[in-house]
Structure 1
Amino acid sequence: MNEKKREEGDGNGEKSMRGDLEERAKGDIEALVDFLKALNDSNGRITDWNCNLVTPCFSWSHVTCRNGNVISLSLASNGFSGTLSPSITKLKYLASLDLQNNGLTGVLPDYLANMTHLQNLNLADNYFSGPIPISWGQLSNLKHLILRGNNISGYIPDSIANITGIAELDISSNDLTGRIPMQLFSVPTFNFTGTSLTCGSSLDQPCVSNSSIPALQVSTNKSKFEAIVTSASCAAFILLLVGAIFTYRYHQVNKLEHDVFVDVEGEDDCKFSFGQLRRFSWREIQLATNNFSENNIIGQGGFGKVYRGVLSDNTKVAVKRLTDYYSPGGEAAFLREVELISVAFHRNLLRLIGFCTTASERILVYPFMKNLSVAYRLRDLKPGEKGLDWTTRKCVAFGAAHGLAYLHEHCNPKIIHRDLKAANILLDDEFEAVLGDFGLAKSVDTKLTHVTTQVRGTMGHIAPEYLSTGKSSEKTDVFGYGITLLELVTGQRAIDFSRLEEEEDVLLLDHIKKLQRENRLHDIVDRNLDTYDHKEVETIIQVALLCTQASPEDRPMMAQVVEMLQGVGLAERWAEWEQLEQVRTEEFSLYSHKFAWAEEFTHDQEAIQLSKAR
């Protein structure tokens, strides 16, 4: 009897649970329908939100669920012109809300503070106004807060600064005023440009975009520090906080070179043709990678891991899985990479085979390069694996130059790669150089002389003008190429903190310039090279130093670089460089001498005063 009652009780419990799930799904549907109505989808973009269905989790576009709960809404760039409805708060488990690049209006609502599971809130590039609600400080799980490009006014509430887990804060291009709370300088990624905010006190300079230093990402062995600093005073303050100060000398100016990844917020990048690219099913990708087995990982880029895979026809491929799909810019990077690679054809550029998209996954499929990257062959070899001899390194230098020259001179619109380094140069079966990772590339209108972007790039490879102004051009690629040449010759990284122990320059460029001035060619060349041509090494170092000059106007175009690698026009340009470098060195020495003399004079004055008659 008791057993029968227990079975009946269990049955009633299951019915009750099922009823709760159905009731919750019904509530989610009602909340989403009300939410969409308030957004004012006048363009009719969202057509499959059918309120007659049992749940929104299986067929509704832009909706991601987990365990029957709506956890993500990705509604960027849909032409909405309405407002945010309080019904959104009924989605109790919502972790990501992306409404960037619409035409939404109204004040930032207090009631979003009730969404305690929210981790990613992206309301960028709308017309929201009013202050940032103090109550948002209750969003203890918030990691990404993107409010860029609105009409938000007032100050930054201390409650926002006190959210301990926040990893990204972008409030640039708003009407904000007042002080930036000191706690925010410890946030891994932040952007205050285009506001009237001050750094630390009312005496500091406002964060004006024209004087901003767009992004610094300092990479160490186990951690990364990425920041967008907004004035010289902010930069100094932040660098003191993190305890990482790098001096980069360019014609009496201290510069910072850092490992930074650059991302551009483009227009509607969805409007392009996929041409002959193959669209893979999710199942095909799963089978090819053995369900993304950890054993098949061959690399990791800015937006995801890369897996070794084998298609059903035994074709070996490299599968790039963009895992951070909640991140603002993840989708843009995917579309940009597909678009750019699909229209650029050259023997020294990586060919895209196809792609795969689902509601929550974006995949790129490339040919598999069994010799991996130049960086791997220079620094990460396993015992018994073959390194790069001098002939191969020289061929890589030529191949990369030809690939970049094609992007700059023969693509219409031209393409700036913006993250050229040894790790992004792959090696095919014949060790031919192939430029990869166009996820950070940028199409450039030929009528424009530069493109202004938010900087994110690779430390040590970023051109100084790009770092200080956000303006990129072909010459930023030339600078990165020059640093890559130094990697090829030395086998070293662009930044190496271990040189601090030897009281040497951390930056590879400064280190090489010092050795070059002292005519220590044998100390420049990679010790793993048994044989090399001294004249060819000298040529590549000269080209590298010409490519890495402080002023972009002084750097050659990539077509000229190709010629100089062959010896055409190099002698003349090198003679000019040596003259300029001598002047720079003398000016810097004079400046340093004056500074040292001033310090000595101060101490002497003190000594005189202590020694005078009593």
Structure 2
Amino acid sequence: MICGNKTAPEPSAFAATVLDLLADLQVATPKINGYFAATKKEVVGDASAGNTTVYGVAQCIETITESGCRDCMQVANTDIQRCPPNTDGRAMDVGCFLRYSDSPFFADNETVDIAPFLRTPSNSSRRNGIIGGVVGGAALLFLVIALLVWFKRWTTSKDLPIRGDILGATELRGPINYKYKDLSAATNKFSHQNKLGEGGFGEVYKGVLKNEKIVAIKKLTITQSQRAKLDYESEVKLISNVHHRNLIRLLGCCNKGPELLLVYEYMKNSSLDKYIFGERRGSLNWKQRCDIILGTARGLSYLHEEFHVCIIHRDIKSSNILLDDDFQPKIADFGLARLLPQDKSHLSTKFAGTFGQKSHDTTPDPDAFLLKKAWTLYEKNMHQELVEESLDGNEYEAEEVKRMVEIGLMCTQSAAALRPSMSQVVVMLKSRGSTETRPITKPTIIDSAAEASTSTASSASLATLSITQISSR
């Protein structure tokens, strides 16, 4: 549970509205397909104080049952009750998330009509019972939690501090701890035949566990100092609690052997890199490519703005986007950049561009640099020339191509204030028609042969992802 530090102008009226809204979300969310609800409610109070609105969001992971979602929401709602009359509060339990605020943090078109899910004969008494029970037991709950926190601090006072105290705000379930010998056996002692690939963080192997479950096992290349192990344990515990349909699921880890290992769910269709540059190039149709773009944006939006800790990937590229059986994208290696030494802000500072259709970590031919080519075509209103030749022209419309290219260019603008957030990118990708509401400024990276920032250029690759030949940074 995390509470804001600002008190509402009308504390009593605001707190009552928050409790009512949260109770509605607790009842409705488990009944909604997808276990997601976003709603708002006006605060009824002194008119002279101005109109105030409470915005609320509740969500359970999709793999949970309805009863499991209901139980999880009850725990989250109980925790968050201590926040009002503060203007912002959020609570998380294993499997669900709940938040309210007096400031909008979702678009109006993303709200859900929860009224149909509240119409039960006993709803009013049930909701009143929930509120009354929570308020009545708040003092006892606070006392128990205070004792537990005091005991935990007393027993761990001699431990080294974890970087950033990223887990201090909530209790998260840790990953499964695997034995090194079991993971070694699953990969046939990390044989070359089982190697799936390698990247900035280490090599990845296909493994078959004792229960016959197929997994992907990554051997991290970070050092194994005491501080590194503490950061590793903290970060892995955080990442293992990130659940989203467009993010690779971390199943477990191992830090007792000669290497630090991470165990992920296995993706049969491998990485997007093979469909853009490799042996499967040209096999994705237009709809599949658009779904991959949208899914990738949704995953990044969740990491940036929806998870209770902001996670910046720093290394978005086609080889870090994996595809499931239905060719839906799942972002890999998110959060691992936080394990790098703190004096390194990016995985690579080399200028990366495109020689025709493939990315390289060397200075490219200026005329072949993808971003420069995209900008030139944009200025000439020739967006469609950026489409890969293998695509069937009957599968897409020129306006749709134009919209995708414009979104990509909006993400590459030099001034950060001019770039859209990832949640705004998701909305634009789902909308129809042109997205160009204001002039797009020319990215200065086009005119510079100096070292390029990974974070800026990676945004550029997002919208053009799968539609054309993309830059790996």
Alignment TM-score, normalising by the size of structure 2: 0.52
Residues 374 and 499 of structure 1: CA distance in aligned 2, closer, same or farther (over 3 Å): same
How much has 1:405 moved relative to structure 2?
1.3
Give the Cα separation in 2 of the matches to 1:539 and 1:461: 27
Alignment of 1:200-211 (within 5 A): none
Q: Secondary structure at the match of 1:414?
A: coil
Answer yes or no: is 1:391 the counterpart of 2:287: yes
Give the Cα separation in 2 of the matches to 1:416 and 1:376: 24
Contact 1:351 1:366 (C-alpha < 8 Å) held by counterparts = yes
Match of 1:555 in 2: 419
Contact 1:334 1:439 (C-alpha < 8 Å) held by counterparts = no
Q: Deviations over 1:75-104 (max 9, x none)?
A: xxxxxxxxxxxxxxxxxxxxxxxxxxxxxx
Match of 2:390 in 1: 528
Equivalent of residue 277 in structure 2, options 369, 379, 385 = 379
Residues 411 and 461 of structure 1: CA distance in aligned 2, closer, same or farther (over 3 Å): farther
Residues 498 and 581 of structure 1: CA distance in aligned 2, closer, same or farther (over 3 Å): closer
| Unmatched runs of 5 consecutive residues or more in structure 1 | 1-264, 444-451, 463-482, 589-614
Q: Deviations over 1:446-494 (max 9, x none)?
A: xxxxxx96322356899xxxxxxxxxxxxxxxxxxxx9xxx9xx99455
Alignment of 1:462-541 (within 5 A): 492-493=357-358, 500=365, 504-506=367-369, 508-531=370-393, 532-533=395-396, 534-541=398-405
> Which amino acid in structure 1 is aligned with residue 376 of structure 2?
K
> Which amino acid in structure 1 is aligned with residue 385 of structure 2?
D
Contact 2:172 2:238 (C-alpha < 8 Å) held by counterparts = no
Q: Deviations over 1:300-341 (max 9, x none)?
A: 122310001111111110000124535899647744651332
Residues 491 and 326 of structure 1: CA distance in aligned 2, closer, same or farther (over 3 Å): farther
Answer yes or no: is 1:400 the counterpart of 2:296: yes
> Which amino acid in structure 2 is aligned with residue 549 of structure 1?
Q
How much has 1:424 moved relative to structure 2?
1.2
Give the Cα separation in 1 of the matches to 2:230 and 2:378: 42
Give the Cα separation in 1 of the matches to 2:363 and 2:390: 18
Match of 2:258 in 1: 360
Q: Superposition RMSD on alpha carbons, in Å?
A: 3.7
Give the Cα separation in 1 of the matches to 2:176 and 2:350: 36
Answer yes or no: is 1:425 the counterpart of 2:288: no
Answer yes or no: is 1:434 the counterpart of 2:298: no
Give the Cα separation in 1 of the matches to 2:372 and 2:350: 11
Residues 496 and 281 of structure 1: CA distance in aligned 2, closer, same or farther (over 3 Å): closer
Match of 2:344 in 1: 454
Residues 336 and 428 of structure 1: CA distance in aligned 2, closer, same or farther (over 3 Å): farther
Match of 1:283 in 2: 181
How much has 1:555 moved relative to structure 2?
0.5
Contact 1:288 1:310 (C-alpha < 8 Å) held by counterparts = yes
> Which amino acid in structure 2 is aligned with residue 541 of structure 1?
V
Contact 2:296 2:330 (C-alpha < 8 Å) held by counterparts = yes
Residues 558 and 460 of structure 1: CA distance in aligned 2, closer, same or farther (over 3 Å): farther
Match of 1:309 in 2: 207
Give the Cα separation in 1 of the matches to 2:323 and 2:231: 23
Answer yes or no: is 1:292 the counterpart of 2:163: no
Q: Secondary structure at the match of 2:218?
A: strand
Q: Secondary structure at the match of 2:240?
A: helix
Contact 1:348 1:400 (C-alpha < 8 Å) held by counterparts = yes
Give the Cα separation in 2 of the matches to 1:527 and 1:459: 31
How much has 1:519 moved relative to structure 2?
3.3
Residues 519 and 365 of structure 1: CA distance in aligned 2, closer, same or farther (over 3 Å): same
> Which amino acid in structure 2 is aligned with residue 540 of structure 1?
M
Match of 2:430 in 1: 566
> Which amino acid in structure 2 is aligned with residue 404 of structure 1?
L
Give the Cα separation in 2 of the matches to 1:510 and 1:536: 21
Give the Cα separation in 1 of the matches to 2:225 and 2:327: 35
Give the Cα separation in 1 of the matches to 2:268 and 2:231: 25
Pick the structure with greater CA Rg. Answer: 1
Contact 1:460 1:494 (C-alpha < 8 Å) held by counterparts = no
How much has 1:282 moved relative to structure 2?
1.3
Contact 1:325 1:360 (C-alpha < 8 Å) held by counterparts = no
Q: Deviations over 1:408-444 (max 9, x none)?
A: 221112222222222211111111111110243459x
Match of 1:349 in 2: 247
Match of 1:183 in 2: none
Residues 515 and 380 of structure 1: CA distance in aligned 2, closer, same or farther (over 3 Å): same
How much has 1:294 moved relative to structure 2?
0.6
Give the Cα separation in 2 of the matches to 1:356 and 1:345: 20
How much has 1:293 moved relative to structure 2?
0.5
Q: Secondary structure at the match of 1:418?
A: coil
| Unmatched runs of 5 consecutive residues or more in structure 2 | 1-161, 448-473
Give the Cα separation in 1 of the matches to 2:289 and 2:231: 30
Q: Deviations over 1:112-170 (max 9, x none)?
A: xxxxxxxxxxxxxxxxxxxxxxxxxxxxxxxxxxxxxxxxxxxxxxxxxxxxxxxxxxx
Q: Secondary structure at the match of 1:306?
A: strand
Give the Cα separation in 2 of the matches to 1:324 and 1:442: 11
Give the Cα separation in 1 of the matches to 2:241 and 2:185: 28
Give the Cα separation in 1 of the matches to 2:344 and 2:286: 37
Q: Deviations over 1:370-417 (max 9, x none)?
A: 1111112211226xx873221111001110111111112211122222
Give the Cα separation in 2 of the matches to 1:522 and 1:438: 32
Contact 1:419 1:461 (C-alpha < 8 Å) held by counterparts = no
Alignment TM-score, normalising by the size of structure 1: 0.41
| Larger RCO, structure (CA 8 Å, separation 6 or more) | 2
Residues 336 and 372 of structure 1: CA distance in aligned 2, closer, same or farther (over 3 Å): farther
Contact 1:461 1:494 (C-alpha < 8 Å) held by counterparts = no
Match of 1:82 in 2: none
Residues 376 and 420 of structure 1: CA distance in aligned 2, closer, same or farther (over 3 Å): same
Residues 270 and 413 of structure 1: CA distance in aligned 2, closer, same or farther (over 3 Å): closer
Match of 2:79 in 1: none
Give the Cα separation in 2 of the matches to 1:268 and 1:415: 14
> Which amino acid in structure 2 is aligned with residue 357 of structure 1?
N
> Which amino acid in structure 2 is aligned with residue 355 of structure 1?
C
